[in-house]
Structure 1
Amino acid sequence: MNGITVGEALVAELRRRGVDCVFGIPGVHTVELYRGLAASGIRHVTPRHEQGAGFMADGYARASGKPGVAFVITGPGLTNTLTPMAQARADSVPMLVVSGVNTTASLGKGIGHLHELPDQLGLAQTVALISEQISDASGLDPAVDRVFHRLASGRPGPAHIEVPLDVAAAGYAAGPRTPLAPAPPTDPDLIRQAATRLAEAQRVVILTGGGAKRVETGLRALADTLDAPVVQTVNARGLMHGHPLIVPASPSLSAVRELIENADCVLALGTELGPTDFDMYATGRVTAMPGLIRVDRCRDQLSRHKADLAIHDDVDMVVPALLAAIPTKKTKGGGAKRAALTRAAAWNEIGADYRLQVEVLNAIRDAVPSALIVGDSTQPIYAGNLYYDHDRAGGWFNAATGYGALGYGIPAAIGAAIAAPSARVICIVGDGGAQFSLPEIMAAVDENLPVTFMIWNNHGYREIAASMQDVGVTVIGCDPSPPDFSATAKSFGIPFATTPAEPDAVARALREADRLDGPSMIEVTAPKFEHRKD
């Protein structure tokens, strides 16, 4: 790569490592990053806000399994991207944010340069798993090696590289390379111990998190071998759709907790056992997990919850190893019955309002099979996070858990559509959350992406208003007026339909949208929450 700038060399290095799309808004502080972009073969998608760039990178990563990459400017570009980085960290999503920064000599001086921050690198380090500055022309290679090594090992999350203006324009010089060390093999003794315990147990329950979403075939075989119900957290939804052993319901529900607590061995695969998955109602009660065997690629996560046996490794390595080590398939011992009883009890537990919304989700799934459903914090997403059986592994994700950032759904759906061009993408957002990032729909127009933006319009922040009213607080600030979504869609130049929040009606509207090329919008009119007026 002789005779090129550091900025050009960075783009070439990203391409060499398999990056095929960058989400970014060019600025004067990233011009040198763009010098080599047009000829690199890397696709560039322009969001309307740097927060959108970060959320697009997140959606791309979840749909592809590869790190999503965002290019942002110094200062406000980086700070606008911190929220997506925090969401990615909470949900273990691999993301790389590349930012500019002011000239090397000016850093930390506080003399009023454009977009200046007191310590941009330090600010990024509060959220990123790793944050590197390329401080000179030969610093590119080792910095990129360190960043990609971190992205490939341990718990996934956001990483950051910043390039000072003067360094980005300087001639590239090769620096020392650090080869990626191969991952150590799975400890065979731990596998044998786990296999023995699982084979001897009579009432195994498997808990699955996002770390298991790419091992569906092996998980199905393991569940069948152990005759074990499989409980899905939010980030595992879509695994083993329709299987008699599946429990597509939140471990926060009492019915699911009872199933887990009555097990004699619990196998937890790739889940952090976090409060928004396991205690959504904030009861403060930790579910007992008898005979817990825990598998996770993050050593820190393994240390946070006491387990009878902890295996530090990728789930996709451990599941086939367990299958090979378990001697014989168990005789059917009631696993399917335990799963069915739990499904029925959980379905009753979520209540009539949420059941109706899950019926809408079921109608959406059946109208457009194997779609990617990307959501924001809104009523049908809350309902689905409690109980919903999606039909595509990794095809249900949203920002209503973990960090819980509003404005996520629309740009994340765009990133997912870039990553999975053959899939239909359905974005479900509320009228309130949609207003955080509505302009990003124009990026879907620019790219002609097959995304249906479904706006669940109940004219306000229903969940917040109900929460305020429940604790005796006068409801205020929860009734922002939504725009005319029909006029908004017309201004975007995309097809529009409106439908009541009824399963058959929503399915009809969605089937019509599915016949169209490019993006479209459906407004689902839901009842407004009529709170008390004190």
Structure 2
Amino acid sequence: MTSCAQALVRLLEGYGVESVFGIPGVHTVELYRGLHGSSLRHISPRHEQGAGFMADGYARASGKPGVCFIITGPGMTNILTAMGQAYADSIPMLVISTTSRREHQRLGHGYLHEMLDQRAVVSGVCAFSHTLQRPQELPEVLARAFALFNCARPRPVHIEIPLDVLEMPADELDLRPRALPQAPAPAAANIDAAVKLLASARRPLILVGGGARRAGQAVQALAERLQAAVALTTNARGLLAPEHPLLLDGVQSSSHGRELFAQADVVLAVGTELGETDYDFFGLGPLALNAPLIRLDIDPLQILGAARADVGLLGDAKQGLQALLAALPQMPSSDWAQSNVARVNAAERAGWTGKQNVMQQMLDTLRDSLPAPIVVGDSTQPVYQGALGYRAPQANSWFNAGTGFGTLGYGLPAAIGAKLAMPERPVLAVVGDGGMQFSSAELIAAREAEAGVIVVLWNNHCYGEIRDYMTARDISPLGVDILPPDFAALAKSCHVQHLPVRSFEQLHEVLAGLKDTRQPVLLELDAAAFLSA
């Protein structure tokens, strides 16, 4: 007999799933019966939140959905934060959980892991949640999830399977993956309206977000055709090469950037919410544009968002950009963008403090000491500096928890997921000593999975960002000067190499000497030593 659980695993194989993140429990053992003999690799994190962050990092690095197997009740409440981060950043994540037997649901009789309404709890952090009432629903519901990942705004999907349904026979099910629809292209009439505005522009500006992360060539080609200044959000970094003359630093939230934006005579926003964490980091107020706004997005609600669009292009970012390119005439030459990009970037960097320059140098050393690294950040001060100045070597190589949901503990497990997705590339997790304590147990999960993540620990013995924020608001710091563990002892207990680092020269030498891509290593940077050098 093929059970519903076994059928699920076979369908996942058919949709190209290669890895599953999860912690086995008595409610999910039937799923593990299905894993035996399958092609799926199972990764065991040490906490369900870690499972979700690993799936998130895997999805960002690979472009494929991250998949989790999660137990009823506490497993689902544990993964909610990770789902919230993925929801905020539009990351495809499939969470398969169990739930109580159908005859036990909503009775409150004290069954194991019982929740009165698990779907209601998870509803705010997923695109949809579905309870499987019988095995016959499985092929359709799973196809809906992969269709959403493929041609709509990709956000987490939750499918829960009652324990009795999990064991039901599913021999008669058609387990072939369904043909998935492709993302739509914007309507021709709207493309024409956008081209009319762009063709007349002499000071064009392009704002690019994570929704265009797979459309790098089209972004660059359109920017060069228009000779437009380009601002990339955190999740879009790397879509233009670091040295590209049209590339702005992360100036969306600075007065220098706002002044340049105000000069634009047409603005094209692609795959971006135009939200606070990318465009109003310093509290200057919502982004105000003086020029006509064209919005290209897969989500119609974003086109009708807070920033009023003069032209809305509903569809896939890559197809939309290619359609604009095909319809645009040759543009007259203009040096407005290049001269102003260089000026604004120089003004922005001239205003950085000594501390900011040190943290930027640290990030640049990470990038330049390794071949095309993927840098995954936690919510920590160097990562916030990277939002202003880090230039990723290529797309999908810089992502962190400093945007959207903004959770601590993301960096290490997300980097593990990215490394499992891209084992041939160096992957670094940039974490603070505070954030590291949220998910330090995943260090041994990295060792077990032979995920050779390079953990770069910025140890300032406190929640530094919050301490500085308190001080700036004339609040006496409280609860932020935390006692860190002995990270060398922690690494040793997790069978991971620990290397203390106290200078940029030493950091470069250590990184250049790391050859084993299967064994994680913890580099502990003494923040005080770097800042006082």
In 1, the alpha carbon distance for the partners of 2:124 and 2:228 equals 40
Alignment of 1:201-350 (within 5 A): 201-241=201-241, 242-304=243-305, 305-350=307-352
Say if 1:214 and 1:393, in contact at 8 Å, map to a contact too. yes
1:70 aligns with 2:68: yes
Say if 2:444 and 2:495, in contact at 8 Å, map to a contact too. no
Which position in structure 2 is the counterpart of 1:440? 442
Say if 2:359 and 2:382, in contact at 8 Å, map to a contact too. yes
SS in structure 1 of the partner of residue 440 of structure 2: helix
Code of the aligned partner of 1:195: V
Say if 1:458 and 1:529, in contact at 8 Å, map to a contact too. no
Report the Cα offset of residue 147 of structure 1: 2.3
Query: Which stretch of the first structure deviates more once superposed, 277-286 or 293-302?
Result: 277-286
Which position in structure 2 is the counterpart of 1:390? 392
In 1, the alpha carbon distance for the partners of 2:341 and 2:251 equals 13
Code of the aligned partner of 2:12: L
Say which of 392, 405, 410 aligns to 1:408.
410
Say if 2:185 and 2:314, in contact at 8 Å, map to a contact too. no
Query: Which stretch of the first structure deviates more once superposed, 439-448 or 95-104?
Result: 439-448
1:169 aligns with 2:167: yes
Say if 1:237 and 1:394, in contact at 8 Å, map to a contact too. yes
SS in structure 1 of the partner of residue 58 of structure 2: helix
Say if 1:57 and 1:95, in contact at 8 Å, map to a contact too. yes
Which position in structure 2 is the counterpart of 1:106? 104
In 1, the alpha carbon distance for the partners of 2:19 and 2:208 equals 30
Say if 1:368 and 1:514, in contact at 8 Å, map to a contact too. no
Say if 1:227 and 1:330, in contact at 8 Å, map to a contact too. no
Report Cα offsets for 1:241-283 as digits up to 9, x if no partner: 2111111314011111111111001111111101011101123
Report the Cα offset of residue 497 of structure 1: 1.0
In 1, the alpha carbon distance for the partners of 2:321 and 2:353 equals 35
Go from structure 1 to structure 2 and tell me whether the alpha carbon gap of 1:516 and 1:186 turns closer, same or farther (over 3 Å shift): closer
SS in structure 2 of the partner of residue 36 of structure 1: helix
SS in structure 1 of the partner of residue 125 of structure 2: coil
In 1, the alpha carbon distance for the partners of 2:237 and 2:179 equals 36
TM-score normalised by L of structure 2: 0.95
Report the Cα offset of residue 369 of structure 1: 2.8
Report Cα offsets for 1:33-55 as digits up to 9, x if no partner: 11111212011111000000000
Query: Which stretch of the first structure deviates more once superposed, 422-431 or 438-447?
Result: 438-447
In 2, the alpha carbon distance for the partners of 1:487 and 1:211 equals 41
Query: Which stretch of the first structure deviates more once superposed, 58-67 or 176-185?
Result: 176-185
Report Cα offsets for 1:340-373 as digits up to 9, x if no partner: 1111112123333212211111111110131000
Report the Cα offset of residue 329 of structure 1: 4.1
Report the Cα offset of residue 150 of structure 1: 2.6
SS in structure 1 of the partner of residue 304 of structure 2: helix
Code of the aligned partner of 2:414: A
Alignment of 1:23-34 (within 5 A): 23-34=21-32
Which position in structure 1 is the counterpart of 2:186? 186
Say if 2:276 and 2:286, in contact at 8 Å, map to a contact too. no
Say if 1:372 and 1:395, in contact at 8 Å, map to a contact too. yes
Go from structure 1 to structure 2 and tell me whether the alpha carbon gap of 1:524 and 1:193 turns closer, same or farther (over 3 Å shift): same
In 2, the alpha carbon distance for the partners of 1:108 and 1:149 equals 31
In 2, the alpha carbon distance for the partners of 1:529 and 1:436 equals 24
Which position in structure 2 is the counterpart of 1:129? 127
Code of the aligned partner of 2:386: G
Code of the aligned partner of 1:503: F
Report the Cα offset of residue 146 of structure 1: 2.5
In 2, the alpha carbon distance for the partners of 1:285 and 1:86 equals 23
Report Cα offsets for 1:291-348 as digits up to 9, x if no partner: 1111010011111121111101111111111111111143143321111111111212
Code of the aligned partner of 1:470: A
Say if 1:363 and 1:504, in contact at 8 Å, map to a contact too. no
In 2, the alpha carbon distance for the partners of 1:181 and 1:6 equals 25
Say which of 77, 94, 97 aligns to 2:95.
97
In 2, the alpha carbon distance for the partners of 1:306 and 1:386 equals 26
In 1, the alpha carbon distance for the partners of 2:212 and 2:178 equals 30
Code of the aligned partner of 2:475: V
SS in structure 2 of the partner of residue 393 of structure 1: coil
SS in structure 1 of the partner of residue 441 of structure 2: helix
Say if 2:203 and 2:337, in contact at 8 Å, map to a contact too. yes
Say if 1:458 and 1:528, in contact at 8 Å, map to a contact too. no
Say if 2:378 and 2:411, in contact at 8 Å, map to a contact too. yes
In 1, the alpha carbon distance for the partners of 2:274 and 2:425 equals 30
Which position in structure 1 is the counterpart of 2:505? 504
Code of the aligned partner of 1:28: V
For structure 1, the 5+ residue unaligned runs are none
Report Cα offsets for 1:443-468 as digits up to 9, x if no partner: 21112122101110000111111111
In 2, the alpha carbon distance for the partners of 1:149 and 1:212 equals 18
SS in structure 2 of the partner of residue 162 of structure 1: strand
In 2, the alpha carbon distance for the partners of 1:64 and 1:178 equals 22
Say if 2:27 and 2:163, in contact at 8 Å, map to a contact too. yes
In 2, the alpha carbon distance for the partners of 1:168 and 1:56 equals 25
Query: What is the percent sequence identity of the aligned residues?
Result: 43
Alignment of 1:350-429 (within 5 A): 350-429=352-431
In 2, the alpha carbon distance for the partners of 1:422 and 1:248 equals 29
Code of the aligned partner of 1:421: P
In 2, the alpha carbon distance for the partners of 1:482 and 1:490 equals 16
Say if 2:202 and 2:334, in contact at 8 Å, map to a contact too. no
Go from structure 1 to structure 2 and tell me whether the alpha carbon gap of 1:394 and 1:478 turns closer, same or farther (over 3 Å shift): same
Query: Which stretch of the first structure deviates more once superposed, 483-492 or 271-280?
Result: 483-492
In 2, the alpha carbon distance for the partners of 1:480 and 1:192 equals 57
In 2, the alpha carbon distance for the partners of 1:299 and 1:434 equals 38
Which position in structure 2 is the counterpart of 1:495? 497
SS in structure 1 of the partner of residue 482 of structure 2: coil
SS in structure 2 of the partner of residue 428 of structure 1: strand
In 2, the alpha carbon distance for the partners of 1:514 and 1:458 equals 28
Report Cα offsets for 1:79-100 as digits up to 9, x if no partner: 1000000000111111011001
In 2, the alpha carbon distance for the partners of 1:194 and 1:406 equals 40
Say which of 148, 151, 173 aligns to 2:149.
151
In 1, the alpha carbon distance for the partners of 2:218 and 2:459 equals 40
Which position in structure 2 is the counterpart of 1:38? 36
Say if 1:375 and 1:427, in contact at 8 Å, map to a contact too. yes
Say if 1:85 and 1:128, in contact at 8 Å, map to a contact too. yes
Go from structure 1 to structure 2 and tell me whether the alpha carbon gap of 1:516 and 1:63 turns closer, same or farther (over 3 Å shift): closer
SS in structure 1 of the partner of residue 496 of structure 2: coil
Q: RMSD between aligned alpha carbons?
A: 1.9
SS in structure 2 of the partner of residue 474 of structure 1: coil
In 2, the alpha carbon distance for the partners of 1:20 and 1:331 equals 48
Say if 2:185 and 2:316, in contact at 8 Å, map to a contact too. no
1:480 aligns with 2:489: no
Which position in structure 1 is the counterpart of 2:47? 49
Say if 2:150 and 2:183, in contact at 8 Å, map to a contact too. no
TM-score normalised by L of structure 1: 0.95
Report Cα offsets for 1:125-158 as digits up to 9, x if no partner: 1221110111112221222122223333332111
